[in-house]
Every structure is written in structure tokens, then in C-alpha cells.
Amino acid sequence: MLLTEFLSKSRIVPELKVTSKAGAIAELARLLFEQQKAKTVGPVLDEIMAREAMESTGIGRGIAVPHARVSEFGDLVCSVGRVKDGLEFKAVDREPVYLIFLICYPPTHQTTYLNFIATLAKLFQDDEPLRLLLEATTAAEIFTTLRDVSKALREPEKRFPKKGVHPGALLDAETPGAVVLLARLELCTEMLESANSGRAEIKQRIENISALLDPKLLAHYYRLKKKYQHAVVAVELGICQGCLMQLPSQLAQSMLRDRSRVECCSHCHRFVYLI
């Protein structure tokens, strides 16, 4: 996924002049809503801060992803703020946060949101992207860097060998990257359902992704799609966002220890992705 499809240079703040998490989130939320010509920033800001009070969206490695569902928006939108010296965010790794991606999306775009988050998490597994973004001097440079570093993740299936080329190519539930491909498979499936053109290319991408996934994972995915609109859903505050049931503490802890594993909700059996 190309991250810059969902933000603009005018929604990037190269140097946030804030001293607190609340100040950073408020500034980015107001900027985003001004750009979108929306008027409901107050309630949305309250929702974001209430969520932060329960569990930080600092996902580690210097990144935070505060977010909210906003019905009046037609697509996912994002504003980005940078704190060069770092900001205390109560992140999961207890390290300072340097880049804050404030995300708002309509409830109907959950799959886009999951793919955006998955791309960010995958992108910052390495130190180099963060270093490049901290060294950029302007909003334009940050935008260009984000575009360039996320290009490689635009089609994640291209990073894996094709089925039949390598006997170990199939990605099972234990393989890092499998959950990202499942989220991308769902996005491509939704794109195909609404596409008026480019359907052959989308079908090819679905075939490429499917060829990499373990047949058991793939079969479960299509069983879920027959039953639910979404087969891959987020987990927030330990709650499956598909069935809104609390996950068993053992499962939640397992997901915290290893975010790359494929896990399923113990209630609705959807694939779940930890935010």
C-alpha cells in the first residue's frame, strides 16, 4: 500500500511544537479536520483521547497511530506529525515516539484501515525508514520519503517466491507476513467487487496472493467470506472488532508477544490483527 495516497504534504507537520501526547493529537486532529472542511473535531478528539487513556496507540519503534472512525469521511485520511527529540506516549516498547500518524476512516473502510496499519508496522520493522524520515527537513521531503519507502510494500506478494518455484513458499499461520497477505487479499477482494476497470490486474493479484498462502488458511478465509463481510478484523483493547467480544487473555497476550502470527477470534473465528 502506498501510504501517501491517504495524505498530502499540507497534512504533514515536520516539527510539532508540543510537549505532550494530548497536544500532539489535538494539533494533528485539527489540521486534518480543517483540510477536510469537517466540523466534528471535538467529539472525534474526545474519542481518540478516551481510547488513548485505556491503551496507548504507540505501537513501538518510534511510531504511534491514534485513530477514530468518522462516518462523514468518504475514505481513510491521515495527518502526520514529527517530534524530532521524541515524545512520551506510553508506547508498548516504552520508548519515545518520533512519528505520529493520526488516522480517521469511515466504518465501511475497515479493510483499508487494516492495510494502512499493517503497512506501517511492516515498514518500521527496519531502522532505515525511521532514520530517513527523521533526517528529512521539510514536509515535502517527508512526503517523498514516505512514498518511496512504502512503494516496496505496495504489493507485498511480490516479496515472496511464487508457489511451485520454491517448495517452502506457502505461508502458514506461523510465518511472518501471512497476516499482512490475508489483509491484502481482503482489500483486493473488495476492490474487485467495486471495480469498473482493471479487473484482470486485480484478479491476477488475488491469484498471486492466494498461491502463497497455506491452503488451510485460504480455505478458512473463503469460509469466513461466505458468512461475514469482513474475514480479517482489528483487535482493539482486547476486543474483536468483528463480533465485539473480549478475547481470552491468553490469546491477547500471545498476540502482544508476536504480532506476526495469524490468530483467529475464539468467538467468531475471524482472522484478527492487533492494532
pLDDT band at 178 (very low <50, low <70, confident <90, very high): confident
Instruction: Average the pLDDT over 203-224 and give the result.
Output: 90
In terms of CATH architecture, what is 3-151?
A: 3-Layer(aba) Sandwich (3.40)
Nearest alpha-carbon partner for 259 in 62, 111, 69, 124: 124
pLDDT, residue 273, reads 86
Partners of residue 178 on adjacent β-strands: none
Q: Which of these CATH numbers, 3.40.50.920, 3.30.300.30, 1.10.287.1490, 3.40.190.10, describes 156-274?
A: 1.10.287.1490
Q: pLDDT of 52-87, one tens digit each?
A: 888 888 888 899 999 988 888 888 999 999 998 899
Cα distance between residue 47 and residue 41, in whole Å:
10
Q: What is the 8-class DSSP label of residue 62?
A: T
> Residue 260 above 80 pLDDT?
no
Confidence band of 164 (pLDDT split at 50, 70, 90): very low
Check whether 175 has a pLDDT greater than 60. Answer: no
Q: Which residue has the higher pLDDT, 10 or 181?
A: 10
Is the Cα torsion angle 92, 94, 99, 101 positive or negative in sign?
positive
Question: Which of 22-31, 69-78, 254-263 has the lowest average pLDDT?
Answer: 254-263
| pLDDT value, residue 76 | 92
| 3-state secondary structure labels for all residues of 1-39 | CCHHHHCCHHHEECCCCCCCHHHHHHHHHHHHHHHCCCC
C-alpha–C-alpha distance, residues 12 and 80, integer Å: 5
| Res 211 pLDDT > 60 | yes
User: Would you list the domain boundaries of the chain?
Assistant: 3-151, 156-274
CA nearest to 251, candidates 270, 234, 232, 264: 264
- How does residue 166 score in pLDDT terms, banded at 50, 70 and 90? very low
